[in-house]
Amino acid sequence: MKVFRDPVHDIINFDKVQENYILDLIDSKEMQRLRRIRQLGLSSYTYPGAEHSRFAHSLGTAFLMKRVIERLQRVRGKQEKQWLQEIFDNQDLVLCSALLHDIGHGPFSHAIEDVMGVKHEVWTMQIINNPDTEVHELLETYKPGFAKEVADVIARVHPCEMVVKLLSSQLDVDRFDYLLRDSLMTGVGYGKFDLEWMINTLTIGQVDGVPEIGLNLDKGLSIAEDFVVARYYMYKHVYFHKTTRSAEIITRKILNRAKELIISKEMECPPYLDVLFLSKPEDKEKFLPSYLELDDNILWHWFHQWVNSNDKLLSNLCDKLLNRKLLKSRDISGINVVNLISHLKVLEKPPYGDFIAVDNPSTSSYKDPYISKRTRSETDDIEKDKEQREATEQIFLFDTSKKHFELARKSPIIFAIRDQTIEQQRLYYPVELQETVDTLLK
């Protein structure tokens, strides 16, 4: 047994013989790289403890997947066992997919996705399928054709539907791990749910002729509610926190400004950053080595350097970020759009106009847009996209007679928030504009 100690799961272990493929993958260059990428980007500016890496989350996800499979092996019922057989026959595939599901993440993930115009899911596919990566080589050595299988599971186009669903659904282990981990590390009182009970009540049933992972109705209704509400709070208080968003907005502004300067040749493109500033989406393959060098350290290094840039805007933005002189924010959810536009005209003038931003993050309380957007596939090819399995967007509860119920039908709490978006509308501005903002928005 190889044992990792972990603040969330205490002991994470993988068998040195039977799960050796997992241990090899963990040691790969591309997985080790995730040690240098924070799970929550700039959240530590709000919650000083939130410095945990995507590496720790990936380990936790693979370990939870192992625990879920162990639980499912104890599910009774001939029919149920048959439905689950696909999972048991593909345990290696499931575990590898869980470990590698976030392998394509870069530093400040959402910010760089916008600058590059390439989603991290696309890089995930690249890293797994490209013959030059250690991950790819390990998967293929383990079993020829295995890399593609893993990639297909993550992209939700693999023919084993149960395997795909186990990795991507409303009740997936990715979510279990990140809620608990982010909650512990930030120190907030939200995001916790009773993991042991959750695992204990997992089961399988049939919905419209299709097998689905779900929960026992009697024992699982409250934990399902608790889990959805935990996610709801984490978005509200952590992921969409105004201070964190402020730091993210500055980061975006830095990257956009740097790109302008580099494209207009006013600034040289630093090593490794070509993938960020000079690549086109179709050049992914060529830029993969460069992308694999990107991590939090590299970007922070350049933010330091750019404090000394001749470009005042870039320099100013980097100083703000490094020394946590963040933008102020104001809730504008009640402001009429026409008024807002006219206010912005006033604010977006020199010398502070470059520091203005309107921010409007949103997610669904219950249905998960990240899942429904189907963005994990490698291509935008419509035909291929059609083949992609849809992830299960709902949580199902099964009663003792194997009848199924969708969570919101049974839970007034979930029913109440099911169509609500968790959403913020804020105006960000530099402290120097405080008075102007106060006057405009009084």
In the list 111, 125, 138, 298, the residue contacting a copy of itself (rule: CB under 8 A) is: 298
Does position 102 bind a copy of itself by CB under 8 A?
Answer: no
Figure out which of the listed residues 69, 127, 188, 249 binds a copy of itself, where binding follows CB under 8 A.
188
**Per CB under 8 A, 423 contacts a copy of itself:** no
Using CB under 8 A as the binding rule, the residues of this chain from 373 to 412 that contact a copy of itself are 412
Task: Considering only residues 12 through 51, tell me which ones interact with a copy of itself, judged by CB under 8 A.
Answer: 13, 15, 27, 29, 32, 35-36, 38, 44-45, 47-49, 51
Q: Is 4 exposed, middle or buried, given 0-12, 13-18 or 19+ CB atoms closer than 10 A? A: middle
% helix / strand / coil in the chain, to the nearest 5?
A: 55, 10, 30
What would the DSSP string read from start to end of 98-155?
Answer: HHHTTTT--TTHHHHHHHHT--HHHHHHHHHH-TTSHHHHHHHHHSTTHHHHHHHHHH
Angle at 221 between CA 218 and CA 227, to 5 degrees: 145
- Please, which residues have CB within 8 angstroms of residue 251's CB and are 6 or more apart in sequence? 42, 108, 111, 321
d(CA 417, CA 230): 13
CA distance 276 to 264: 15
Return the number of the residue (93 or 408) whose C-beta is nearest a copy of itself: 408
Q: Does 330 bind a copy of itself (CB under 8 A)?
A: no
**What is the side-by-side order of every strand in the sheet holding 202-207?**
202-207, 210-216, 396-398, 404-406
Residue type, 197: W
Half-sphere exposure of 352 toward its Cβ, with a 13 Å CA cutoff? 18
Q: How far is the CB of 195 from a copy of itself (least distance, A)?
A: 9
Cβ-contact 204, 72 below 8 angstroms: yes
Q: Is 413 in the site for a copy of itself (CB under 8 A)?
A: yes
Using the minimum distance from each CB to a copy of itself, give the nearer residue, 155 or 227: 227
- 176 touches a copy of itself (CB under 8 A): no
Should residue 184 be labelled a site residue for a copy of itself when binding is judged by CB under 8 A?
A: yes
Q: Binding to a copy of itself by residue 55, rule CB under 8 A?
A: yes
Give the interface segment with a copy of itself, choosing from 55-63, 247-255, 348-356, 392-400 (CB under 8 A): 55-63
- DSSP class per residue in 336-367: -HHHHHHHHHHHSSTTTGGG-EEE--EEESSS
Looking at residue 331, its amino acid is: D
CB-wise, 192 or 374, nearer to a copy of itself? 192
Does position 56 bind a copy of itself by CB under 8 A? yes
Q: Is 272 in the site for a copy of itself (CB under 8 A)?
A: yes
The correct pick among 254, 417, 422, 433 for binding a copy of itself (CB under 8 A) is 417
Among 131, 145, 209, 271, binds a copy of itself (CB under 8 A): 271
* 297 is a site residue for a copy of itself (CB under 8 A): yes
With respect to a copy of itself, which residue has the nearer C-beta, 153 or 292? 292
CB of residue 386 vs a copy of itself: minimum separation in angstroms? 36
Beta carbon of residue 196, minimum distance to a copy of itself (angstroms, whole number): 5
CB of 11 to a copy of itself, least distance (A): 5
Which of 121, 177, 212, 296: binder of a copy of itself (CB under 8 A)? 296
DSSP string across 57-114: HHHHHHHHHHHHHHHHTT---HHHHHHHHHHHHTHHHHHHHHHHTTTT--TTHHHHHH
| Candidate list 269, 322, 335, 441; residue touching a copy of itself; CB under 8 A | 322
Residues 339 and 364: their CA atoms lie apart, in Å, by 27
Nearer Cβ to a copy of itself (29/143)? 29
* Count, residues near a copy of itself per rule CB under 8 A: 69
Asked if 437 contacts 427 with a C-beta cutoff of 8 angstroms, the reply is: yes
- What are the counts of helices (DSSP H) followed by strands (DSSP E) for the chain? 24, 11
Look up residue 392 and give its two tokens: 């299960």
* Residue number, 156 or 430, with CB nearest to a copy of itself: 430
Q: What residues pair up with 159 in beta bridges, in sequence order?
A: none
Contact between 422 and 240 under an 8 Å Cβ cutoff? The reply is yes
Name the segment binding a copy of itself (CB under 8 A); options: 8-16, 88-96, 124-132, 372-380. 8-16
Q: Does 324 bind a copy of itself (CB under 8 A)?
A: yes
Asked if residues 30 and 103 have their Cβ atoms less than 8 Å apart, the reply is yes
Beta carbons within 10 angstroms of residue 296's beta carbon: 18
| Residues 215-254: x where in contact with a copy of itself by CB under 8 A, - otherwise, as a string | -------xx--x--x---x--xx-----------------
Interface residues toward a copy of itself, by CB under 8 A: 1, 3-8, 10-11, 13, 15, 27, 29, 32, 35-36, 38, 44-45, 47-49, 51-53, 55-56, 59, 74, 184-190, 192-194, 196-197, 200, 222-223, 226, 229, 233, 236-237, 271-272, 293, 295-298, 300-301, 304-305, 322-324, 412-413, 415-417, 420
